[in-house]
Every structure is written in C-alpha cells, then in structure tokens.
Amino acid sequence: MIQSDPLGFFVLLLAMTLVVYATRAGGFWLLGRVTIGPRLRKILEAMPGAVIAATVAPILLHGGLSAWLAVAAAAAAMLVVRNDFAAVVAGVAVAALARAAGL
Amino acid sequence: MMTQSDSPKAQDLPPAWTFPGFREGAWTILPLMPGLFAFGLAFGTVAARKGFSLLDALAMSGTVYAGVAQLVALETWPDKLTMPVIGGIVLVTALISSRFLLIGASLRPWLGSQPASKIYPALFFLVEPNWLMSMRYRANGGSDPAYLLGGGVVIYVVWIVSTAAGYALGTSIGDPHTFGIDMVMPAFFTAMLISMWRGARASSGMVIGGAVAIAVDFIFGGMWYLIVGALAGSVAGGFIDDPE
C-alpha cells in the first residue's frame, strides 16, 4: 500500500510536516504583527475537540455493537480511573470479548 | 522578573538558554510521559495495521510530530494516494494543528526578544505538554527558553520510541479485528474527549462536530465527514460558548 507509492507518501509527509510547522511557528510569528480576536480564539480553542469527535463518531455508525461496547468501556474506564492507558486497554479488551462472543 | 538589583543593561538582554534550564524542562515533563507513551503505542499499532513499514511510521512521527494529526490521517488513510486525497489529508492536518497558532502566539510576550536562529528551530518541538509546563514555569518566575526545548526534546524521543513499540505490537498480532486492535484509536480518542470535556455549553463544538460528521458520513460517505464535521464543530463551538 505505502510501498506501492513512495512518491505520494513522500509528498504527503513533506506537506504535513510543513503545514504543522507553519502552525507551530506561525502563531508566534504572526503575533509580532497582528492580534487574534476573541471570536477566532474561541473557534481555534473548539477545534481540537471538534476534530476528535468528528473522527470518532462515524466509527460508531459503521462499527456495530462491538464498537459501541468498546467505546462505552473506554469512556467508563476513563471516568473512573482518569487514565488513557486504562481506557485503551478496557476498550480493546471489551471489543475482543464481544467479538469472541459473536456480537 | 525584574528586581531592584538588576542593572538596566541586564534587563534589556533576552533571557539566556542554559543547560540547567533545559534539564529542568526535561525533568518536569516526565510525569506526563506514560500518557504520551500510550498515545504513541496507539499510533504505531494503527500504522502497522494500515500497512506502513516501520520506517514509514518512524518517518511520520519524526517529521510531522503531531499525534492527533497523525492518527486522524491514518484513520482516513485511502487505498490509493491520489492528489485530491493528499490535499484532503493535508487540509485536515492544517485544521487539527491550527491550535498551535494560539499556543505559539501565547509565547510571544516571553520569547519575542529571542533571536530567530534559536527560537524558530526550538518551535519545531512545541506541543501541548511542554507548552503547559512552560507557561506554569513562566508564571512562577522562570525565564530560561531552554526549559521549553528540554520538555520538547523528551516528548520527541518518547514519541519516536513509543511509535516503534506500538508498531511491533501491531505486527505481532494476527487478525487485529479479533483482538480489538482496531478499537485502539477510538478508545484513545474517547478518553481524550472525556478529559477535554468542559460541560455541554463549553464543549458544544465536540457534540456538533460529532453529529455533523455522522450526518455527512451517512449521506455522502468518503472523508468529507471529517472536514465538514470539524469545521462545523469548531465554528459552532466558537459562537455558542458565549458568556452573555
């Protein structure tokens, strides 16, 4: 998959690297010139959560019952233990169990 | 901090980069590293599942060095890398990492007087954990810019090592579906959403982003759900979370 298109992978990696670095250096650079207004600041603050939710939500649409149970287990583990590791382990374990049970 | 004992000349000089500052930044970031390691494991595991070589996975972690952007790119990874697909992934990457604009901007008052030849290379290592630690360090009177770099370098090394460890884990397991490996990313992102949750009103961007993504995915398919959902969620979140 990747090996079949090394040029495309290289172009993608280069573009992603440049874009991410541009945001890292760009805010620092820009503030020497302009100010970020309160509205834009709020939109930027809401962006990471919106992106993550938009990534996860459709998986529930396609993943079936085992995906629902796995995400619920991860959420429960996170709420109780407040630990990323525990949440991932719980989610993966419940998905494996559900599939072993034929769900 | 300016004190009465500072000579006027010393006040005009930008804060110096010292090894003790670097070491302090590296040391104080360590308690956050187990969480980051879990994140890197998730990325490496999913990369293996998506058919990356180990070198591909390490190259992405070493150059892009942005966990959420890398995981989201993998999750939408196509069978064939066409130019429109590359453009889509790069656009999503730009959306996700736009938060760095704010983080970087907040460093301006502290580091604005630093020479460009030092600060711009150091900004490559800017991520949330070392930014948060540096803001606290700064609030407590610290001024050494090497503190930011020290934390960033530790995070970078942990990110690379955990990518390799996750890759080894991902390739050593037979059918990823049977063992629930395909749920690593959703479980991790669910945990992130919970730790980022600030109540229904303050976090409305998450809810709207998720809902719009499901709707767009259901109606159109493809990877547009991500761009439309992310944009709708962040704009809505930016306008809904109003004090009045």
Residues B48-100 pLDDT 10s:
988 899 999 999 999 999 998 999 899 888 888 888 889 999 998 998 888 88
Closest CA to A12 of A2, A23, A27, A22: A2
pLDDT attached to residue B7: 44
- State which amino acid sits at residue A49: G
* Structure confidence by residue, pLDDT tens digits, B180-213: 878 887 898 898 899 889 888 889 999 999 999 9
From B175, B196, B217, give the residue that closes a domain: B196
- Compare CB distances from A46 to B93, B184, B233 and report the shortest one's residue: B233
The verdict on residue B145 lying in a domain is yes
The verdict on residue B223 lying in a domain is yes
Residues in chain A within 8 Å Cβ distance of B203: 49
Please determine, for residue A25, whether its predicted confidence score (pLDDT) is greater than 90. Answer: yes
Whether residue B228 sits in one domain with residue B119: no
Q: How far is B234 from chain A (nearest CA, A)?
A: 4
Task: Indicate the number of domains in chain B.
Answer: 2
Quote the domain boundaries for residue B238: 199-244
From B157, B176, B196, give the residue that closes a domain: B196
Q: Is A17–B108 a contact, with Cβ atoms under 8 angstroms apart?
A: no
Interface A-B, measured as beta-carbon pairs within 8 A, has a size of 306
The verdict on residue B121 lying in a domain is yes
Q: How far is A29 from chain B (nearest CA, A)?
A: 7
pLDDT attached to residue B152: 97
Whether residue B229 sits in one domain with residue B157: no
> What token pair was written down for A31?
């503030």
Greatest distance between any 2 Cα atoms in chain B: 68
Extended beta strands in chain B, E state: none
The verdict on residue B72 lying in a domain is yes
Whether residue B233 sits in one domain with residue B119: no
Q: Is A49–B225 a contact, with Cβ atoms under 8 angstroms apart?
A: no
Give dist(CA B192, CA A99) in Å, integer.
25
- Compare CB distances from B188 to A16, A53, A84 and report the shortest one's residue: A84
Are B99 and A45 a contacting pair, CB within 8 Å?
A: yes
CB distance from B111 to chain A under 8 Å?
A: yes
* Structure confidence by residue, pLDDT tens digits, B27-47: 988 887 877 888 898 899 999
Whether the CA torsion B185, B188, B193, B196 is positive or negative: it is negative
The verdict on residue B11 lying in a domain is no
Whether residue B146 sits in one domain with residue B32: yes
Residues in chain A: 103
| DSSP letters for B180-241 | TGGGHHHHHHHHHHHHH---TTTTHHHHHHHHHHHHHHHHH-TTHHHHHHHHHHHHHHHHH-
Whether residue B112 sits in one domain with residue B45: yes
Residues in chain A within 8 Å Cβ distance of B145: none
Whether residue B185 sits in one domain with residue B209: no
Give dist(CA B128, CA B39) in Å, integer.
13
Are B234 and A41 a contacting pair, CB within 8 Å?
A: no
Whether residue B159 sits in one domain with residue B142: yes
- Compare CB distances from B234 to A28, A29, A50 and report the shortest one's residue: A50
The verdict on residue B1 lying in a domain is no
Are A8 and B56 a contacting pair, CB within 8 Å?
A: no
pTM above 0.80, yes or no: no
The nearest alpha carbon in chain B to A34 belongs to: B105
Closest CA to B18 of B109, B141, B142, B140: B142
Mean pLDDT of chain A: 89
Percent of chain B at pLDDT above 70?
A: 93
